Structure 1
Protein backbone atom coordinates (compact mmCIF):
# COMPACT_ATOMS: atom_id res chain seq x y z
CA UNK A 1 0.00 0.00 0.00
CA UNK A 2 1.35 3.40 -0.90
CA UNK A 3 1.38 6.27 1.59
CA UNK A 4 -1.37 8.88 1.33
CA UNK A 5 -0.42 12.35 0.01
CA UNK A 6 -0.69 13.70 3.58
CA UNK A 7 1.72 11.03 4.88
CA UNK A 8 4.13 11.77 2.05
CA UNK A 9 4.01 15.46 2.92
CA UNK A 10 4.64 14.76 6.62
CA UNK A 11 7.64 12.58 5.83
CA UNK A 12 9.01 15.25 3.52
CA UNK A 13 8.53 17.95 6.16
CA UNK A 14 10.07 15.82 8.93
CA UNK A 15 13.20 15.15 6.89
CA UNK A 16 13.41 18.84 5.96
CA UNK A 17 13.16 19.80 9.65
CA UNK A 18 15.85 17.27 10.56
CA UNK A 19 18.14 18.62 7.82
CA UNK A 20 17.69 22.25 8.82
CA UNK A 21 17.93 21.38 12.54
CA UNK A 22 21.59 20.48 11.95
CA UNK A 23 22.26 24.11 11.00
CA UNK A 24 20.86 25.73 14.17
CA UNK A 25 23.50 27.56 16.20
CA UNK A 26 22.68 27.61 19.93
CA UNK A 27 25.54 29.95 20.88
CA UNK A 28 26.10 33.69 20.85
CA UNK A 29 27.55 34.58 17.46
CA UNK A 30 27.43 38.41 17.58
CA UNK A 31 29.60 40.81 19.61
CA UNK A 32 26.59 42.68 21.02
CA UNK A 33 25.25 39.44 22.54
CA UNK A 34 28.33 39.18 24.78
CA UNK A 35 28.00 42.73 26.11
CA UNK A 36 26.28 43.17 29.52
CA UNK A 37 24.15 46.04 28.14
CA UNK A 38 23.96 44.75 24.54
CA UNK A 39 26.29 47.50 23.35
CA UNK A 40 26.20 47.60 19.55
CA UNK A 41 22.60 46.40 19.31
CA UNK A 42 20.56 49.08 17.54
CA UNK A 43 17.67 47.32 15.79
CA UNK A 44 15.36 44.57 17.07
CA UNK A 45 12.67 43.01 14.90
CA UNK A 46 9.41 41.21 15.53
CA UNK A 47 7.40 38.98 13.20
CA UNK A 48 3.98 37.38 13.35
CA UNK A 49 1.23 36.06 11.14
CA UNK A 50 -2.22 37.08 12.35
CA UNK A 51 -5.45 35.54 11.17
CA UNK A 52 -8.90 36.95 10.72
CA UNK A 53 -11.30 35.13 13.02
CA UNK A 54 -12.91 32.18 11.28
CA UNK A 55 -10.50 32.27 8.32
CA UNK A 56 -7.43 30.04 8.46
CA UNK A 57 -6.29 30.70 4.88
CA UNK A 58 -5.97 34.48 4.64
CA UNK A 59 -3.59 36.13 7.08
CA UNK A 60 -1.58 39.26 7.66
CA UNK A 61 2.20 38.76 7.65
CA UNK A 62 3.81 41.46 9.75
CA UNK A 63 7.33 42.68 10.46
CA UNK A 64 8.28 45.58 12.70
CA UNK A 65 11.73 46.90 13.51
CA UNK A 66 12.32 48.94 16.65
CA UNK A 67 15.32 50.92 17.77
CA UNK A 68 17.27 49.58 20.76
CA UNK A 69 17.37 50.43 23.62
CA UNK A 70 14.55 53.00 23.35
CA UNK A 71 12.17 50.65 21.46
CA UNK A 72 10.77 53.19 18.99
CA UNK A 73 9.25 51.95 15.72
CA UNK A 74 11.66 52.39 12.79
CA UNK A 75 9.89 50.27 10.17
CA UNK A 76 6.60 48.44 9.68
CA UNK A 77 5.51 46.07 6.92
CA UNK A 78 2.20 44.23 6.78
CA UNK A 79 0.92 42.26 3.81
CA UNK A 80 -2.22 40.20 3.36
CA UNK A 81 -1.20 36.72 2.25
CA UNK A 82 -2.97 33.50 1.28
CA UNK A 83 -1.61 30.37 2.92
CA UNK A 84 -1.34 27.28 0.78
CA UNK A 85 0.25 24.68 3.08
CA UNK A 86 -2.12 22.78 5.41
CA UNK A 87 -2.11 23.35 9.17
CA UNK A 88 -0.51 20.38 10.90
CA UNK A 89 0.54 20.67 14.57
CA UNK A 90 4.32 20.77 14.88
CA UNK A 91 4.76 21.93 11.28
CA UNK A 92 3.43 25.47 11.57
CA UNK A 93 6.65 26.88 10.11
CA UNK A 94 5.93 25.38 6.68
CA UNK A 95 2.76 27.52 6.54
CA UNK A 96 4.20 30.72 7.95
CA UNK A 97 7.95 30.99 7.31
CA UNK A 98 7.81 31.77 3.56
CA UNK A 99 5.77 34.95 4.18
CA UNK A 100 7.85 36.13 7.15
CA UNK A 101 11.02 35.48 5.16
CA UNK A 102 9.60 37.51 2.25
CA UNK A 103 9.00 40.45 4.60
CA UNK A 104 12.64 40.33 5.77
CA UNK A 105 13.87 40.04 2.20
CA UNK A 106 11.77 43.05 1.11
CA UNK A 107 13.33 45.09 3.90
CA UNK A 108 16.84 43.90 3.01
CA UNK A 109 16.28 44.94 -0.60
CA UNK A 110 14.52 48.28 -0.02
CA UNK A 111 16.04 49.61 3.23
CA UNK A 112 19.01 47.39 4.14
CA UNK A 113 20.22 49.78 6.86
CA UNK A 114 17.05 48.96 8.84
CA UNK A 115 17.50 45.17 8.78
CA UNK A 116 17.10 43.91 12.39
CA UNK A 117 20.11 42.41 14.17
CA UNK A 118 17.83 39.98 15.97
CA UNK A 119 14.23 38.89 15.37
CA UNK A 120 11.64 37.99 18.00
CA UNK A 121 9.19 35.38 16.75
CA UNK A 122 5.73 34.98 18.27
CA UNK A 123 6.15 31.24 18.78
CA UNK A 124 8.71 28.61 19.76
CA UNK A 125 12.26 27.78 18.74
CA UNK A 126 13.98 24.69 20.17
CA UNK A 127 11.06 24.22 22.58
CA UNK A 128 9.23 22.05 20.05
CA UNK A 129 8.32 18.41 19.31
CA UNK A 130 11.46 17.92 17.22
CA UNK A 131 13.44 20.89 18.57
CA UNK A 132 12.78 22.91 15.45
CA UNK A 133 9.97 25.42 15.81
CA UNK A 134 9.12 28.52 13.79
CA UNK A 135 11.91 30.66 15.32
CA UNK A 136 14.54 28.05 14.32
CA UNK A 137 13.12 27.69 10.82
CA UNK A 138 13.08 31.44 10.20
CA UNK A 139 16.53 31.85 11.77
CA UNK A 140 18.23 29.22 9.64
CA UNK A 141 16.60 30.39 6.40
CA UNK A 142 17.19 34.12 7.05
CA UNK A 143 20.62 33.74 8.64
CA UNK A 144 19.56 36.18 11.40
CA UNK A 145 19.65 35.62 15.16
CA UNK A 146 16.13 34.65 16.24
CA UNK A 147 14.39 34.21 19.59
CA UNK A 148 11.13 32.31 20.09
CA UNK A 149 8.76 33.87 22.63
CA UNK A 150 5.48 32.02 23.19
CA UNK A 151 2.61 33.29 25.32
CA UNK A 152 1.30 29.79 26.05
CA UNK A 153 3.13 26.68 27.20
CA UNK A 154 3.56 24.07 24.49
CA UNK A 155 3.13 20.79 26.37
CA UNK A 156 5.91 18.84 24.75
CA UNK A 157 8.74 16.44 25.55
CA UNK A 158 7.49 15.84 29.07
CA UNK A 159 7.01 19.53 29.96
CA UNK A 160 3.44 20.19 31.05
CA UNK A 161 1.23 22.39 33.21
CA UNK A 162 1.82 20.30 36.31
CA UNK A 163 1.42 21.52 39.89
CA UNK A 164 5.20 21.76 40.04
CA UNK A 165 5.20 24.00 36.95
CA UNK A 166 2.52 26.23 38.48
CA UNK A 167 4.46 26.52 41.76
CA UNK A 168 7.63 27.43 39.83
CA UNK A 169 5.66 30.22 38.12
CA UNK A 170 4.38 31.43 41.49
CA UNK A 171 7.98 31.61 42.73
CA UNK A 172 9.01 34.10 40.01
CA UNK A 173 9.19 37.25 42.13
CA UNK A 174 10.13 40.02 39.71
CA UNK A 175 10.78 40.83 36.07
CA UNK A 176 13.85 38.93 34.84
CA UNK A 177 13.28 35.86 37.06
CA UNK A 178 13.13 32.59 35.12
CA UNK A 179 13.28 28.82 35.44
CA UNK A 180 14.37 26.17 32.89
CA UNK A 181 11.96 24.02 30.88
CA UNK A 182 13.57 20.60 31.04
CA UNK A 183 12.50 17.89 28.60
CA UNK A 184 12.24 14.20 29.42
CA UNK A 185 15.75 13.74 27.99
CA UNK A 186 17.14 16.13 30.61
CA UNK A 187 17.89 18.81 28.03
CA UNK A 188 16.94 22.41 28.78
CA UNK A 189 14.65 23.35 25.89
CA UNK A 190 13.81 26.89 26.97
CA UNK A 191 12.97 29.02 29.98
CA UNK A 192 9.80 30.40 31.53
CA UNK A 193 10.45 34.10 32.11
CA UNK A 194 8.63 36.63 34.22
CA UNK A 195 9.21 39.35 31.67
CA UNK A 196 7.95 42.34 33.64
CA UNK A 197 7.22 43.29 37.25
CA UNK A 198 3.69 44.15 36.08
CA UNK A 199 2.86 40.68 34.77
CA UNK A 200 2.85 37.51 36.87
CA UNK A 201 2.08 35.34 33.79
CA UNK A 202 5.37 34.19 32.24
CA UNK A 203 6.37 33.96 28.60
CA UNK A 204 8.23 30.95 27.24
CA UNK A 205 11.58 31.78 25.67
CA UNK A 206 13.60 29.44 23.48
CA UNK A 207 16.56 29.68 21.14
CA UNK A 208 15.75 30.17 17.47
CA UNK A 209 19.20 30.59 15.93
CA UNK A 210 22.55 32.29 16.53
CA UNK A 211 21.95 33.11 20.21
CA UNK A 212 22.37 31.29 23.52
CA UNK A 213 19.38 30.64 25.78
CA UNK A 214 20.70 32.85 28.61
CA UNK A 215 21.25 35.74 26.20
CA UNK A 216 17.82 35.18 24.62
CA UNK A 217 16.19 35.39 28.06
CA UNK A 218 18.18 38.48 29.04
CA UNK A 219 17.35 40.19 25.75
CA UNK A 220 13.65 39.31 26.00
CA UNK A 221 13.51 40.89 29.45
CA UNK A 222 15.38 43.97 28.19
CA UNK A 223 12.79 44.41 25.40
CA UNK A 224 9.71 44.06 27.63
CA UNK A 225 7.77 47.04 28.89
CA UNK A 226 4.85 44.75 29.57
CA UNK A 227 4.47 40.97 29.38
CA UNK A 228 5.26 40.49 25.67
CA UNK A 229 8.50 41.83 24.16
CA UNK A 230 7.89 45.17 22.48
CA UNK A 231 8.70 44.07 18.88
CA UNK A 232 5.92 41.44 19.09
CA UNK A 233 3.57 43.58 21.20
CA UNK A 234 3.65 46.36 18.58
CA UNK A 235 2.39 43.85 16.00
CA UNK A 236 -0.28 42.43 18.29
CA UNK A 237 -1.51 45.94 19.18
CA UNK A 238 -1.51 46.91 15.52
CA UNK A 239 -3.42 43.78 14.53
CA UNK A 240 -6.02 44.47 17.22
CA UNK A 241 -6.61 47.98 15.90
CA UNK A 242 -6.94 47.01 12.21
Structure 2
Protein backbone atom coordinates (compact mmCIF):
# COMPACT_ATOMS: atom_id res chain seq x y z
CA UNK A 1 0.00 0.00 0.00
CA UNK A 2 1.34 3.44 -0.94
CA UNK A 3 1.84 6.10 1.70
CA UNK A 4 -1.01 8.15 0.20
CA UNK A 5 -3.40 5.19 0.19
CA UNK A 6 -2.50 4.34 3.79
CA UNK A 7 -3.08 7.95 4.82
CA UNK A 8 -6.59 7.83 3.33
CA UNK A 9 -7.34 4.55 5.14
CA UNK A 10 -6.10 5.98 8.45
CA UNK A 11 -8.28 9.07 8.09
CA UNK A 12 -11.34 6.94 7.32
CA UNK A 13 -10.67 4.55 10.18
CA UNK A 14 -9.99 7.37 12.64
CA UNK A 15 -13.36 8.88 11.80
CA UNK A 16 -15.17 5.53 12.12
CA UNK A 17 -13.34 4.74 15.35
CA UNK A 18 -14.30 8.09 16.87
CA UNK A 19 -17.94 7.52 15.94
CA UNK A 20 -18.03 4.01 17.41
CA UNK A 21 -16.18 5.21 20.53
CA UNK A 22 -19.19 7.34 21.41
CA UNK A 23 -21.28 4.17 21.70
CA UNK A 24 -19.10 2.44 24.31
CA UNK A 25 -20.88 1.86 27.63
CA UNK A 26 -18.40 1.90 30.53
CA UNK A 27 -20.75 0.67 33.24
CA UNK A 28 -22.54 -2.50 34.31
CA UNK A 29 -25.69 -3.12 32.29
CA UNK A 30 -26.59 -6.72 33.25
CA UNK A 31 -28.11 -8.04 36.47
CA UNK A 32 -25.42 -10.71 36.91
CA UNK A 33 -22.73 -8.03 36.94
CA UNK A 34 -24.17 -6.54 40.12
CA UNK A 35 -24.02 -9.83 42.04
CA UNK A 36 -20.95 -10.56 44.18
CA UNK A 37 -20.78 -14.13 42.85
CA UNK A 38 -22.11 -13.24 39.37
CA UNK A 39 -25.38 -15.04 40.00
CA UNK A 40 -27.18 -15.49 36.67
CA UNK A 41 -23.99 -15.70 34.61
CA UNK A 42 -23.92 -19.08 32.86
CA UNK A 43 -21.86 -18.61 29.65
CA UNK A 44 -18.55 -16.82 29.14
CA UNK A 45 -16.98 -16.51 25.70
CA UNK A 46 -13.38 -16.15 24.57
CA UNK A 47 -12.15 -14.97 21.16
CA UNK A 48 -8.83 -14.66 19.40
CA UNK A 49 -7.27 -14.60 15.95
CA UNK A 50 -4.16 -16.71 15.44
CA UNK A 51 -1.84 -16.55 12.43
CA UNK A 52 0.04 -19.36 10.76
CA UNK A 53 3.77 -18.76 11.21
CA UNK A 54 5.17 -16.66 8.39
CA UNK A 55 1.71 -15.70 7.07
CA UNK A 56 0.08 -12.43 8.07
CA UNK A 57 -2.94 -12.79 5.78
CA UNK A 58 -4.37 -16.23 6.57
CA UNK A 59 -5.48 -16.78 10.16
CA UNK A 60 -7.67 -18.88 12.40
CA UNK A 61 -10.64 -17.06 13.94
CA UNK A 62 -11.66 -18.80 17.13
CA UNK A 63 -14.61 -18.60 19.49
CA UNK A 64 -15.14 -20.76 22.55
CA UNK A 65 -17.99 -20.61 25.05
CA UNK A 66 -17.46 -21.93 28.56
CA UNK A 67 -19.95 -22.69 31.30
CA UNK A 68 -19.77 -20.48 34.37
CA UNK A 69 -18.64 -20.95 37.08
CA UNK A 70 -17.41 -24.46 36.12
CA UNK A 71 -15.45 -23.17 33.08
CA UNK A 72 -16.13 -26.25 30.96
CA UNK A 73 -16.19 -25.92 27.16
CA UNK A 74 -19.76 -25.82 25.79
CA UNK A 75 -19.03 -24.69 22.23
CA UNK A 76 -16.03 -24.23 19.96
CA UNK A 77 -15.79 -22.71 16.49
CA UNK A 78 -12.58 -22.51 14.42
CA UNK A 79 -12.57 -21.00 10.95
CA UNK A 80 -9.62 -20.31 8.67
CA UNK A 81 -10.04 -16.79 7.28
CA UNK A 82 -8.23 -14.54 4.83
CA UNK A 83 -7.82 -10.98 6.06
CA UNK A 84 -8.30 -8.26 3.48
CA UNK A 85 -7.76 -5.10 5.55
CA UNK A 86 -4.16 -3.87 5.86
CA UNK A 87 -2.26 -3.97 9.14
CA UNK A 88 -1.85 -0.45 10.53
CA UNK A 89 -0.67 0.02 14.12
CA UNK A 90 -3.49 1.17 16.39
CA UNK A 91 -6.19 -0.09 14.02
CA UNK A 92 -5.85 -3.84 14.54
CA UNK A 93 -9.58 -4.15 15.20
CA UNK A 94 -10.43 -3.24 11.61
CA UNK A 95 -8.60 -6.42 10.50
CA UNK A 96 -9.81 -8.77 13.21
CA UNK A 97 -13.31 -7.73 14.31
CA UNK A 98 -15.22 -8.85 11.18
CA UNK A 99 -14.02 -12.47 11.53
CA UNK A 100 -14.74 -12.61 15.27
CA UNK A 101 -18.13 -10.97 14.77
CA UNK A 102 -18.95 -13.58 12.11
CA UNK A 103 -18.19 -16.34 14.63
CA UNK A 104 -20.58 -14.85 17.18
CA UNK A 105 -23.27 -14.40 14.53
CA UNK A 106 -22.90 -18.00 13.34
CA UNK A 107 -23.45 -19.18 16.90
CA UNK A 108 -26.43 -16.88 17.43
CA UNK A 109 -28.02 -18.24 14.26
CA UNK A 110 -27.29 -21.95 14.86
CA UNK A 111 -27.47 -22.30 18.66
CA UNK A 112 -28.73 -19.05 20.22
CA UNK A 113 -29.05 -20.68 23.65
CA UNK A 114 -25.24 -20.96 23.75
CA UNK A 115 -24.51 -17.30 22.93
CA UNK A 116 -22.11 -15.96 25.60
CA UNK A 117 -23.36 -13.37 28.07
CA UNK A 118 -19.91 -11.75 28.12
CA UNK A 119 -16.85 -12.12 25.90
CA UNK A 120 -13.22 -12.01 27.04
CA UNK A 121 -11.05 -10.71 24.21
CA UNK A 122 -7.34 -11.43 23.84
CA UNK A 123 -6.40 -7.77 23.49
CA UNK A 124 -7.24 -4.34 24.81
CA UNK A 125 -10.41 -2.33 25.25
CA UNK A 126 -10.22 1.28 26.47
CA UNK A 127 -6.52 0.77 27.20
CA UNK A 128 -5.62 1.90 23.68
CA UNK A 129 -4.12 4.83 21.74
CA UNK A 130 -7.57 6.36 21.18
CA UNK A 131 -9.44 4.43 23.89
CA UNK A 132 -11.02 2.04 21.41
CA UNK A 133 -9.26 -1.28 21.12
CA UNK A 134 -10.44 -4.64 19.80
CA UNK A 135 -12.65 -5.43 22.83
CA UNK A 136 -14.50 -2.12 22.41
CA UNK A 137 -14.90 -2.59 18.66
CA UNK A 138 -16.28 -6.11 19.02
CA UNK A 139 -18.49 -5.11 21.94
CA UNK A 140 -20.14 -2.18 20.16
CA UNK A 141 -20.74 -4.11 16.93
CA UNK A 142 -21.99 -7.28 18.66
CA UNK A 143 -23.92 -5.54 21.42
CA UNK A 144 -22.41 -7.96 23.97
CA UNK A 145 -20.53 -7.08 27.15
CA UNK A 146 -16.82 -7.41 26.38
CA UNK A 147 -13.61 -7.31 28.41
CA UNK A 148 -10.12 -6.75 27.06
CA UNK A 149 -7.46 -8.98 28.63
CA UNK A 150 -3.93 -8.43 27.30
CA UNK A 151 -0.89 -10.48 28.25
CA UNK A 152 1.57 -7.67 27.49
CA UNK A 153 1.56 -4.02 28.49
CA UNK A 154 0.67 -1.57 25.75
CA UNK A 155 2.84 1.48 26.43
CA UNK A 156 0.37 4.18 25.59
CA UNK A 157 -0.92 7.54 26.85
CA UNK A 158 1.92 7.91 29.34
CA UNK A 159 1.71 4.36 30.74
CA UNK A 160 5.17 2.84 30.53
CA UNK A 161 6.97 -0.33 31.55
CA UNK A 162 9.29 1.64 33.83
CA UNK A 163 10.69 1.13 37.34
CA UNK A 164 7.51 2.44 38.95
CA UNK A 165 5.42 -0.04 36.98
CA UNK A 166 7.72 -2.91 37.97
CA UNK A 167 7.49 -1.84 41.63
CA UNK A 168 3.71 -1.85 41.44
CA UNK A 169 3.79 -5.37 39.99
CA UNK A 170 6.10 -6.53 42.78
CA UNK A 171 3.62 -5.15 45.33
CA UNK A 172 0.82 -7.43 44.10
CA UNK A 173 0.74 -10.05 46.84
CA UNK A 174 -1.92 -12.52 45.74
CA UNK A 175 -4.37 -13.44 43.00
CA UNK A 176 -7.02 -10.74 42.68
CA UNK A 177 -4.70 -7.86 43.61
CA UNK A 178 -4.52 -5.08 41.03
CA UNK A 179 -3.41 -1.51 40.40
CA UNK A 180 -4.73 1.13 37.98
CA UNK A 181 -3.20 1.97 34.62
CA UNK A 182 -3.44 5.74 34.67
CA UNK A 183 -2.97 7.87 31.56
CA UNK A 184 -1.05 11.16 31.59
CA UNK A 185 -4.47 12.85 31.59
CA UNK A 186 -5.27 11.21 34.93
CA UNK A 187 -7.90 8.89 33.47
CA UNK A 188 -7.74 5.24 34.53
CA UNK A 189 -7.71 3.20 31.31
CA UNK A 190 -7.48 -0.26 32.85
CA UNK A 191 -5.89 -2.30 35.62
CA UNK A 192 -2.94 -4.65 35.95
CA UNK A 193 -4.25 -7.80 37.63
CA UNK A 194 -2.37 -10.56 39.37
CA UNK A 195 -4.68 -13.25 38.10
CA UNK A 196 -3.53 -16.17 40.24
CA UNK A 197 -1.45 -16.84 43.34
CA UNK A 198 0.96 -18.96 41.28
CA UNK A 199 1.74 -16.29 38.67
CA UNK A 200 3.47 -13.03 39.59
CA UNK A 201 3.24 -11.69 36.02
CA UNK A 202 0.00 -9.70 35.63
CA UNK A 203 -2.53 -9.48 32.84
CA UNK A 204 -3.89 -6.12 31.73
CA UNK A 205 -7.66 -5.73 31.96
CA UNK A 206 -9.72 -2.97 30.38
CA UNK A 207 -13.36 -2.26 29.63
CA UNK A 208 -14.62 -3.29 26.22
CA UNK A 209 -18.33 -2.57 26.38
CA UNK A 210 -21.29 -2.81 28.78
CA UNK A 211 -19.25 -3.51 31.92
CA UNK A 212 -17.46 -1.44 34.55
CA UNK A 213 -13.71 -1.75 35.11
CA UNK A 214 -14.04 -3.12 38.65
CA UNK A 215 -16.51 -5.78 37.47
CA UNK A 216 -14.29 -6.62 34.50
CA UNK A 217 -11.32 -7.18 36.83
CA UNK A 218 -13.37 -9.26 39.26
CA UNK A 219 -14.81 -11.37 36.44
CA UNK A 220 -11.39 -11.92 34.85
CA UNK A 221 -9.96 -13.10 38.16
CA UNK A 222 -12.91 -15.45 38.72
CA UNK A 223 -12.20 -17.06 35.31
CA UNK A 224 -8.53 -17.76 36.07
CA UNK A 225 -7.19 -21.17 36.96
CA UNK A 226 -3.77 -20.05 35.73
CA UNK A 227 -2.37 -16.68 34.64
CA UNK A 228 -4.52 -16.36 31.50
CA UNK A 229 -8.30 -16.50 32.05
CA UNK A 230 -9.78 -19.82 31.01
CA UNK A 231 -11.92 -18.57 28.07
CA UNK A 232 -8.81 -17.11 26.40
CA UNK A 233 -6.59 -20.03 27.44
CA UNK A 234 -9.06 -22.46 25.83
CA UNK A 235 -9.18 -20.29 22.69
CA UNK A 236 -5.39 -20.56 22.38
CA UNK A 237 -5.50 -24.30 22.99
CA UNK A 238 -8.10 -24.93 20.28
CA UNK A 239 -6.62 -22.40 17.86
CA UNK A 240 -3.12 -23.87 18.00
CA UNK A 241 -4.51 -27.36 17.36
CA UNK A 242 -6.48 -26.09 14.36
CA UNK A 243 -3.65 -24.04 12.83
CA UNK A 244 -1.20 -26.93 13.19
CA UNK A 245 -3.64 -29.15 11.30
CA UNK A 246 -4.00 -26.53 8.59
CA UNK A 247 -0.22 -26.11 8.32
CA UNK A 248 0.28 -29.89 8.08
CA UNK A 249 -2.42 -30.13 5.41
CA UNK A 250 -0.78 -27.34 3.43
CA UNK A 251 2.65 -28.99 3.61
CA UNK A 252 1.21 -32.34 2.45
CA UNK A 253 -0.44 -30.64 -0.53
CA UNK A 254 2.85 -29.19 -1.77
Q: TM class, shorter-chain normalised?
A: over 0.9
User: 1:67-118: CA deviations, max 9, x gaps?
Assistant: 0000000000000000001111100000000000000000000000000000
Partners in 2 of 1:77 and 1:240 — Cα distance? Answer: 13
Partners in 1 of 2:39 and 2:199 — Cα distance? Answer: 27
The aligned runs of 1:136-215 (5 Å cut-off) are 136-215=136-215
Partners in 2 of 1:68 and 1:60 — Cα distance? Answer: 25
Residue 84, structure 1, aligned to residue 79, structure 2: no
* Distance apart, 1:235 and its partner CA: 1.2
* Distance apart, 1:238 and its partner CA: 2.1
Partners in 2 of 1:209 and 1:151 — Cα distance? Answer: 19
**Which stretch of structure 1 is more off in the superposition, 155-164 or 231-240?**
231-240
* Partner of residue 104, structure 1: 104
Unaligned runs of 5+ in 1: none
Partners in 1 of 2:142 and 2:219 — Cα distance? Answer: 20
Partners of 2:78 and 2:239 within 8 A in 1: no
Partners in 1 of 2:187 and 2:235 — Cα distance? Answer: 32
* Partner of residue 49, structure 1: 49
* Distance apart, 1:237 and its partner CA: 1.8
Partners in 1 of 2:6 and 2:200 — Cα distance? Answer: 41
Give the count of matched residue pairs: 240
* Partner of residue 40, structure 2: 40
* Distance apart, 1:18 and its partner CA: 0.2
Alignment partner of 1:79: what SS? Answer: strand
* Partner of residue 252, structure 2: none
* Distance apart, 1:169 and its partner CA: 0.2
User: 1:168-226: CA deviations, max 9, x gaps?
Assistant: 00010000000000000000000000000111100000000000000000000000000
User: 1:47-83: CA deviations, max 9, x gaps?
Assistant: 0000011100000000000000000000000000000
* Partner of residue 5, structure 1: 5
* Distance apart, 1:239 and its partner CA: 2.7
Partners in 2 of 1:165 and 1:87 — Cα distance? Answer: 29
* Distance apart, 1:6 and its partner CA: 1.1
* Partner of residue 228, structure 2: 228
Partners in 2 of 1:67 and 1:236 — Cα distance? Answer: 17
Unaligned runs of 5+ in 2: 245-254
* Distance apart, 1:5 and its partner CA: 1.5
Residue 119, structure 1, aligned to residue 135, structure 2: no
Alignment partner of 2:215: what SS? Answer: helix
Alignment partner of 2:25: what SS? Answer: coil
The aligned runs of 1:16-31 (5 Å cut-off) are 16-31=16-31
Partners in 1 of 2:4 and 2:162 — Cα distance? Answer: 37
